[in-house]
Chain A
């Protein structure tokens, strides 16, 4: 650490109480500091998303930004049963994945918050580590597990449980659910753990002193207090899964086409960018609804915040 920092740290104890009238930020510094983040957020995020919304209301003539001003893309999405089927399937798959990850992650987060003791940091480290490994490789791992001449089939035949390999694993919506639940499992633990960890211990002691059995105390004190974390976990799992196109392509087969697959093909083979943009807008609206529902639920449970 440099000497200036040390001096400032020593001084900090002395000046803590004094108000700082001269503590005003110079315009040049402010501008320089806001510039990189401002460019990225306004140009790459807001402007780019604005382009998607704009393109969704254009007709496809092969040019970059399309022609005219039309709601035809949305009419097609609303009237063609194919898009309803695929959207519904995406919602069901993402919903199941969210449910599975959150329900399986909760006990782990609970253990981390209340039982882990000295092993807590090591366990936290172990559950977050897969988060930083390649998503493509995690999905690929499931492809070799579930394949016809893959790990699961060969292991079952080797142990004599089955005589013939089965095709039933790969290329099913169930394979998509299992693979996505595994790929996004690390996302769910941290938000729930943080919520559980910040519950004041005195609350649990009070419940116990007032005669609550462990299960009652869990159901009426711990669970409601951890709901904000559960909802945050559900959201961070639901959002990436509902728009996923890699897992359906790798392990899902044609019966598991999801809305992300359709968007991707509009910008690839199908080459109808305005229609792909309209599908994207629909997905964002669905996510907005989910976020609003989660917010509402959070407010109902969130007496703590």
Chain B
């Protein structure tokens, strides 16, 4: 009997388990869209019939559209910041050959080991100290920090997958560091840059724990949802809004993951 068949024994049961696990992972989240179309103010069985009423309540709500605009602006700006930092930090970590670059890269991944509540309060103290106070700029700073580990990991694995000789050849042909970076390394990692940007946008767009401390008078979308949860009457509206957000998140995250894998696959196929 070969090792292969040994390992494969019992795969069927394991397959069933994985299926059950996926159901557990997705079922609670999919209840939100289900009940958002239900013609009842409560999320309970039996279903009371199909309605689009709750989606209609999303239109013409100035507080909601204000929060949406805020979330979009903050998401795009902090994604730009986090992606820029992710690119430069991981590039210098791999090619900078200096202890400082390695230290920066290590610290950039540190927020994984700090609970969000502490990131939130540390930034709250900081932005009050420098006079910004809770504001949209403070939220952008917070979200750059929260998204940084992700962009560093995504960009680092992409840069590491590019054969070393390509960069060395560019330098050998007389390209400056800047030209090598901008015209060789960056175009070769374009899918990962886009993926890092989309993922950090999503992180900012969905982030609640840190933004809770840093928001001034203009809430973001998750804060708007949180404020609505106090009112049982607005439960269906929250579910309709949640459905829209989940759909957008799935599309953006799906595209980003596909881009990331395509980029990595292409890098491995390139001759070195």
Residue numbers of A with Cβ under 8 A of B are 1-2, 4-5, 7-16, 18, 20, 22-23, 25-26, 29-30, 33-38, 40-49, 51-52, 55, 64-65, 104, 107-108, 110-112, 114-115, 121, 123, 125-138, 140-145, 147, 149-151, 153-155, 158, 182, 185-186, 201, 204-205, 207-209, 214, 217, 235-236, 239-240, 242-246, 250, 260, 263-264, 267, 273, 276-277, 280, 283-284, 287, 291
Contact = CB atoms under 8 A, between A and B. Distances in A.
Given A41-B104, A129-B257, A151-B45, A208 B1 contact: yes
A298 B14 CA distance: 27
Contacts, number: 330
A134 B226 CA distance: 12
Nearest to B172: A15
Contact of A8 (B170, B239, B257): B170
Contacts of B81: 36, 40
Contacts of B28: 138, 141-142, 145, 182
A239 B15 contact: no
B44 A150 contact: yes
Contacts of B188: 1, 5
Given A140-B229, A144-B35, A158-B45, A264 B148 contact: no
Given A40-B85, A145-B31, A45 B110 contact: yes
A47 B242 CA distance: 36
A13 B184 CA distance: 15
A92 to B, nearest CB: 16
Given A40-B108, A140-B225, 4 more contacts: A37-B88, A48-B123, A185-B24, A260-B117
Given A33-B92, A41-B104, A130-B26, A140 B242 contact: yes
B91 A33 contact: yes
A263 B129 CA distance: 19
Residue among A41, A147, A149 with the highest chain B CB neighbour number at 10 A: A41
Nearest to A273: B125
Contacts of A55: 125
20 contacts: A5-B184, A9-B166, A11-B172, A12-B165, A23-B171, A33-B91, A33-B92, A34-B101, A36-B88, A38-B100, A40-B145, A41-B110, A111-B14, A132-B253, A138-B29, A141-B28, A151-B45, A208-B1, A246-B208, A284-B118
Interface stretch (B4-12, B51-59, B61-69): B4-12
Residue among B26, B168, B208, B271 with the highest chain A CB neighbour number at 10 A: B168
Given A129-B253, A214-B9, A283 B118 contact: yes
Interface residues of B, number: 116
Contacts of A35: 88
A26 B176 contact: yes
What are the 9 A-B residue pairs with the smallest beta carbon separation, nearest first? A243-B115, A132-B253, A154-B44, A37-B89, A12-B165, A11-B169, A205-B3, A208-B3, A134-B206
A130 B257 CA distance: 12
A13 B238 CA distance: 57
A64 B15 contact: no
Interface string B210-235: 00110000000010011001000001
A204 B3 CA distance: 7
A169 to B, nearest CB: 13
Given A11-B172, A34-B92, A283-B118, A134 B108 contact: no
A267 B29 contact: no
A263 B248 CA distance: 33
Contact of A44 (B91, B123, B171, B206): B123
A13 B165 CA distance: 7
Contact of B246 (A135, A137, A182, A208): A137
B163 A242 contact: no
Contacts of A64: 125, 128-129
Interface in B108-137: 108, 110-118, 121-126, 128-129
Contacts of B129: 51, 64-65
Given A37-B85, A277-B121, A155 B115 contact: no
B145 A45 contact: yes
Contact of A217 (B6, B111, B148, B249): B6
A260 to B, nearest CB: 4
Interface in B149-191: 163, 165-173, 175-181, 183-184, 187-188
A134 B222 contact: yes
A36 B208 contact: no
A128 B250 CA distance: 11
B22 A126 contact: yes
